[in-house]
Structure 1
């Protein structure tokens, strides 16, 4: 297989006490991202602070080929979760980890999975920024690092050059988001299919925290969501959705929020943006037609939503991600 000139170098920094599941996520997701010619889009390089093996929290060790000096050569640094946070849970960065992070070039994208957010926080990289972590640690995290705008309910937070995920499987969502952001929905969807995971759980979707179980638990908004996905080109008012679910608007809205983690209108916008992205990547349809098919109605409305969500215009997105 030939080398891909567009390959993005990712450094995975493994700390003592690393959790094996989270450690495996970057390789499982980013490592399976390929272009249309089957060439890998990411080169993953795993390192420890000093190149020595580290212990996992599962009773076995991890041996790597590099120390932290390799981080000076990468475009993105990912730090998987560890249960051995030590001083970082008290607001201090251990000197040896600080030396490792000092190898990273300015402008490198930084990513934490689950409680590795403590590492970024202790290094001062999250001050004044939005971030998340595992919901069970969120209160302590906010108390320890009061300058951070902690959102305990979301799956991940993308703040441009610094991204943080919630617990465990939310790291899968964040890494798929990185693939989608870097290379478009088609590539991310292929990776998701290979990994047998949902291609999109939007970052704003709620973590599976201990919400109370809704009354009449046998009722669900799932069939109505499936019905709505087939009709995104329609306006789909809240009363229509509630009527399809055979619930009052109030009950439907409450149950939808509990099951999905966002309001029905917000969820519809997320699905419409994803449909518009797919059409921009895979079709030559004019912008106005894509706006109609995805339920935004007008090209101006589509432009506004894409700029708000992705920071780019539909034309710019198409130029970057359209199938060649």
Structure 2
């Protein structure tokens, strides 16, 4: 996200007086991450822009808040203007997002933030942490089973996963307020290069059968095999639990997802060995195979030959 897009996302938009208003808050602190917070702000900004001509829709009023107000320094060094927490904000919000980032641990010890989170919990429709922001909620609500706090766990240890979870939550509200078509348009605008993964983000399966979902995930694995992806990612694309995905994939494709992914990576590797002059180690990194040593082990196990020997033989055969 560029500085200009984040700045525009933070503006308070002018809206038609006959629209209903949803109040959205983003709780910030020093050394917070702008990534997740910026995604949430841009989702609601895009919804406002797309729904601007619909006088019967909703408007999303987004506020950036902090304990002291004014400029908050993010972990990237950028500064964000925030409103100071005071009695005005105790009336509540339709959704409250708690920023993540390396400063979350220190922020979890700020008694002002914790006291405010405790006051606000019954006046907020949804309270969602963004990645490390969970630390503040753990401090505010130790052992609390309050249903206003979204109970779904963050995907393990990945900041990008926290951003996607926040985006899903925001899109779910937009889908409820403005309809599935608007939610999909917002997702397409923000994820123009990743449209194959929109269904899980939007919480929809389009009426697809389990077989259709598996085949769509197989295509996704094929198209992204050179990236640092996992079987858990593919299960998410199929909108299935990982266990169910493993079972269904083997049933539909006759091969495990891991072996399918390895097969696709080897196919790309063989093509690069034949058609390029790239060193084996670089090819391994480029095709998701780790490094040259791991690639050599896989090649010898699967093809009974080393990558270098394969390169020589394939070029000799091509020249005959």
Note the residue ranges of structure 2 that are not aligned, 5 or more in a row: 1-14, 220-228, 245-320
Q: 1:52 to 1:100 in 2, by over 3 A?
A: farther
Cα distance in 1, alignment partners of residues 211 and 71 from structure 2 = 56
Q: Deviations over 1:188-227 (max 9, x none)?
A: 012112223544325899xxxxxxxxxxxxxxxxxxxxxx
Cα offsets for 1:87-124 (capped at 9, x unmatched)? 57xxx653121233244261412122111112112211
Does structure 1 residue 55 correspond to structure 2 residue 69? no
2:110 aligned with 1:136: no
Question: Highest Rg: 1 or 2?
Answer: 2
Give the conservation status (yes or no) of the 8 Å contact 2:175–2:182.
yes
Cα distance between partner residues in 2 of 1:55 and 1:265: 37
1:119 aligns with 2:136: yes
Q: Are 1:54 and 1:63, in contact at CA under 8 Å, matched by a contact in 2? A: yes
**Cα gap change, 1:95/1:264 in structure 2, threshold over 3 Å: closer, same or farther?**
closer
Q: Secondary structure at the match of 2:53?
A: coil
Deviation of the 1:29 alpha carbon: 0.1
1:2 counterpart SS class: coil
Distance 1:4 1:166 in 2: 36
* CA contact 1:72–1:105 (8 Å) conserved in 2: no
Length, aligned pairs only: 203
Are the structure 2 counterparts of residues 256 and 57 from structure 1 closer, same or farther at C-alpha, using a change threshold of 3 Å?
closer
Q: Are 2:200 and 1:184 aligned?
A: no
Taking structure 1 as reference, are residues 96 and 190 closer, same or farther at Cα in structure 2, changes over 3 Å only? same
TM-score, structure 2 as length reference: 0.51
**Structure 1: where are the runs of 5+ without partners?**
138-154, 156-164, 206-227, 246-254, 270-324
Distance 1:263 1:33 in 2: 24
Task: Summarize the alignment of residues 1-40 of structure 1 with structure 2, pairs less than 5 Å apart.
Answer: 1-34=15-48, 35=51, 37-38=53-54
Return the structure number with greater helix share.
2
**Does the C-alpha gap of structure 1 residues 124 and 105 become closer, same or farther in structure 2, counting only changes over 3 Å?**
closer
- Structure 1 length-normalised TM: 0.50
